Amino acid sequence: MNFEREVESRFKCPKCGGNSCRVEKIAVTGAGITRLLDLQTNVFYAVVCENCGYTELYSKNVIDGKGDRIMDILDVIFG
C-alpha cells in the first residue's frame, strides 16, 4: 500500500475540484516542552493541489498505522 501513489491517483481537490496533486513529506518539530527536550518530530504527508495550492496534512504515524485499511480512509476522503 503506497499512500502517496493512491492519493495522487484518487485526488480531488475539495476547493477547486482539480484532480492533480503532489504529495510531499514534511517534518514538524513539536512546540513548547517537547521542542526543548527534542522528544519527537512529527512527520506529515502534505497533499498539495497543483491547481490552487490548497494543502491537506495527514499524520504519517496514523497513516502508516492503518496498513491496508488506508483504502477505507481514502474512500471516505475522496469518495
**Which residues make up the interface to Zn ion (CB under 5 A)?**
13, 15-16, 18, 49, 51-52, 54
Give the shortest CB-27-to-Zn ion separation in angstroms: 24
Q: Which is nearer to Zn ion, 49 or 63 (CB)?
A: 49
Q: Which is nearer to Zn ion, 42 or 51 (CB)?
A: 51
- From the CB of residue 46, how many other CB atoms can be counted at a distance below 10 Å? 14
Give the shortest CB-11-to-Zn ion separation in angstroms: 9
